[in-house]
Amino acid sequence: MRPLYFLFLILCCIPLTVTSQETEADTVEVVDKPERPAFESSFLIDNPTDKIYLKNTLEAVMQHRFGTIGGGENDLLGIWGAANIRLGLTYTIHERLQVGIGTEKLRRLQDFNWKVGLLRQTRSGKVPVNVSYYGNFVVDARKKENFSLEQHRYSFFHQLIVSRRFSPNLSLQVAGSISHFNLVKEGQKNDVFGLAVGGRYKVTPQTSITMEYSIPFADYDGYNYPEPGFSIGAEFVTSSHAFQVYLSSLNGITPQANYFYNENNFFKGTRNILLGFTITRLYNF
């Protein structure tokens, strides 16, 4: 009888062991993974996005604006008109920190910029949005006779970006900013607050429609600007390239220049609209 007794005792203990193991497994904390980035490029069109590339990624970017479409006779939709261009490089030091430099033709602006990821949207919805900070320091490199003091060359831009990936196809963002120029014309203020809203809708896995509206809150004495900026375009993305083509009322590329000096109104005819494109290339180290 003793062997049967021990066998019965072992069989009775097996369910307890299994239950104990299941309970222990159930107490393992599930990792709440970050949601995929709301955007796939570092700029939506004119304003930065929440996108920060993987650590040790180098981004080379070329941004180009042709002249206004209706700006002159026989200018082939502005392609033969006065153009603006910016060349830039950014490098991801940390998965939440990106730094960069760039040079722009218009006003010879040399920018030093950075982007910091503050909050990341999670897949569970516990953190519902991304929050990022973008800033830059810009030096106007035109001839010294344009400036009575060296510090008059300097301008600054700070922007807080709140974005959300609502679905695999739809992403939206809202961004509040402040732009500062050390040197302004009489009647202008040194600081301009701005608000930008924009979004992207994917029509295929690699192709999206983008749109953006940037509003400067400024009222200059004796000037009819700054005007709000409106842009609409298409974006084509691969694993290492992005190509954007768009129509925009903004002929500047450095953000604070647009919030301060834009004179074009997209809805007042083709003399206020420019054709532009942006090309980016990523290198991973």
> What gap in Å lies between CA 96 and CA 52, rounded to an integer?
7
173 in Cβ contact with 167 (< 8 Å): no
Q: Quick one: 27 exposed, middle or buried, by C-beta within 10 A (0-12, 13-18, 19+)?
A: exposed
The CA radius of gyration of the chain, in Å to the nearest whole number, is: 26
* 224 — pLDDT class (breaks 50, 70, 90): confident
> What gap in Å lies between CA 267 and CA 260, rounded to an integer?
19
Q: Determine the longest span between alpha carbons in the chain, in angstroms.
A: 110
Name, in order, each residue with C-beta under 8 angstroms of 54's C-beta and a sequence gap of 6 or more: 92, 95, 284
Q: What's the confidence (pLDDT) of residue 11?
A: 47
**Residue 10 scores a pLDDT above 70:** no
Q: Name residue, tokens 């590329």.
A: 253
Q: What is the mean pLDDT of residues 168-187?
A: 95
| Mean pLDDT for all residues in the chain | 89
SS3 labels along 114-156:
EEEEEECCECCCCCCCEEEEEEEEEEECCCHHHCCCHHHHEEE
Q: What's the confidence (pLDDT) of residue 22?
A: 46
Q: What is the mean pLDDT of residues 229-253?
A: 95
Q: What's the confidence (pLDDT) of residue 124?
A: 92
Which CATH code is given to the segment(s) 35-284? 2.40.160.40
Name, in order, each residue with C-beta under 8 angstroms of 10's C-beta and a sequence gap of 6 or more: none
> What gap in Å lies between CA 251 and CA 80, rounded to an integer?
15
**Residue 183 scores a pLDDT above 50:** yes
Q: How is residue 246 written in tokens?
A: 């768009």
**Residue 131 scores a pLDDT above 90:** yes
* 128 — pLDDT class (breaks 50, 70, 90): very high
Q: Which residue has the higher pLDDT, 221 or 153?
A: 153
CA distances (Å), origin 114, targets 52, 146, 225: 10, 28, 28
Q: Domain locations in the chain? A: 35-284
Q: What is the mean pLDDT of residues 58-68?
A: 95
**Residue 260 scores a pLDDT above 80:** yes
* 28 — pLDDT class (breaks 50, 70, 90): low
Q: Name residue, tokens 């569970």.
A: 124
